[in-house]
Structure 1
Amino acid sequence: YDVLKIREYCLDAMACNFEAFADTSKFRAMLLRFPPPSGDSALRTTLPSAPGAGGTTNQGNILDDLREKWLEAEAAELDKRDESAALFDRRLEMLILVANEERIHDGC
C-alpha cells in the first residue's frame, strides 16, 4: 500500500463509523488540528465523481475528503446528497464547537 491508499482506507473507515468517532473527545480534538473545510459549504458540490473516476488522485483537504466519503456511504442517491451534505456540515460545525469548548475547559 502507498500513503494515498492508506489515507483512503482510513477515510472510508471514519466515514462509515462517523458517529462512533464523533462520540470520542480525541476525534473532536483531532478535528481542531486539520485545516477547516474549503470554502462556504453552500458552494461545495454534492455531485458524485464521474463514473469510473475512482478516488482522488491527490491529497486534498482531509475534512472535505471525509465529507465526500460520508456522502458516498450515507447518501448514495443523488436526490438525497444535498440534504445529507447539509446535515454533515452542521454536524461537523457542532463537533468543532464542542472540541473548542473541551479544549478551553481542559486548559483551565
Structure 2
Amino acid sequence: MTDTSDPDGESAGPDAGDADGDTKAGSGEPVVDAAEVEHVAELARVRLAEEETETFADQFAEILEYFEALDEVPDLDREEELVNVMRADEVEAGLAQEEALANAAETEDGFFKGPKVS
C-alpha cells in the first residue's frame, strides 16, 4: 500500500477525485480511495478483486455520507428532572407453605417433588 498524498496532507493533483465526483469538500481527493479499501481489506485479511475494490470504495463513500448527515441532527434539550412514574414497592403477605403446596401433584418434606432428570 502506498500513500499517494503529499506529506503536507494535500491531494496528489487535480485528477485525484474519482469519476463519480465523490470527493472531500473542496480538496479534490476521493472520500474513500482504492488504497484505503485495500488497507482495510488487508487488516480484515480479505482478498478483493480489482472490481470489488472500486465497488467497496463507492459503498464506503455512501456510508460516510450517512455519518455526515448525522452531524446535521440538532441537539435536543433534555428534561432536567425525571420523575419515576412507577409506584413504590409494597410488602404483602405471601402464601403459607401448605397453601403453596396444596395443588402440587407430589411433595416431599415440604417441597415440590418433580421427576428425576438423568
TMscore range, shorter length? 0.3 to 0.5
Give the TM-score, by structure 2 length: 0.33
Give the TM-score, by structure 1 length: 0.36
Q: Comparing both structures, which one devotes a greater share of its residues to helix?
A: 1
Q: Which has the higher contact order (CA 8 A, sep 6+)?
A: 1
